[in-house]
Amino acid sequence: MLLIIDQGNSDIVFGLHDDSGWIAEWRTPTTNKSTSNYEALMRQWILEANLSVSNINSAVISSVVPENREALVMFVRTLFRVEPLVLGQKIYEKLQLQLNSPHEIGSDLVANSIAATNRFPGTHCIVVDFGTALTLTTSLDKSILGVAIAPGLKTAVKSLFKNTAQLPEVPLELPKSLLGKNTNHAIQSGVLHGYIGLVKHLVTQTKIELQAKCKVLATGGLSSILKPLHDEFDIVEPKLTLEGLRVIHKELIS
């Protein structure tokens, strides 16, 4: 059984996969957790899922939080007695990926690209990832053609709350009307409806620049919030990053 770990700036997602498919998925906030913290969490999750530590015999890690990456690696080594595959520049070279800045690109974006192009080989793919940052990663098979990055939905709302004296932090709920009737409604209207326009524009302009038909995939914990965008997407797949990590592990290890 394969343990897949995707550490983002806000959350860490753990997934279990075997030959039959996805077995379990767990999520915890990204903080300065220690090796022992991760071990305690995982033992509890495995027990609740009626599994055993011995069921897990391989692991792959993507982390965009360098200062916490080693704790995850040590946790896997200590608890499961396996050496995890950790995404990074050397792995990209083994995958024969064509990247403009391999030392800069986030491993989660690489996983997104691999998952998308594995599903749609020979086709231009745009992955819209609604995370701490909003990212659009455009790829064609082994080539990542480019990335666009903007603040994520939660990041935008928190920025307003943090940097303005009278604006509250509001729930991420899409209002039916653009015309805000109170402060909460006004922020929801501006940010959420604004992001609908932002994503549509970026996807449209990417297609124009490529002069090609594209498959557009959405992922990330907030991908389900902006429902008016769903007609723009060929697929909404919350597990896309995990799936990309699984594909990478299979290509290099299996």
pLDDT in tens, 26-61: 999 988 788 999 999 999 999 999 999 999 999 999
The domain 94-244 is placed in CATH, from the list 3.30.420.40, 3.40.250.10, 1.10.1040.10, 3.40.47.10, at 3.30.420.40
Cβ–Cβ under 8 Å, residues 151 and 143: no
Q: State which CATH number among 3.40.50.300, 1.10.645.10, 3.30.420.40, 2.60.40.10 fits the domain covering 2-86.
A: 3.30.420.40
Catalytic member of 108, 129, 141, 234: 108
- CA separation for the pair 144, 166 (Å, rounded): 42
Going by pLDDT thresholds of 50, 70 and 90, the confidence category of residue 164 is low
CB count, 10 Å around CB of 249?
21
**Distance from first CA to last CA of the chain, Å, rounded?**
12
Residue-wise pLDDT for 185-208, tens only, equals 888 888 888 889 999 999 999 999
Q: Is 11 a catalytic residue?
A: no
Q: How far apart are CA 6 and CA 29, in angstroms?
A: 12
Overall pTM surpassing 0.85 (yes/no) = yes
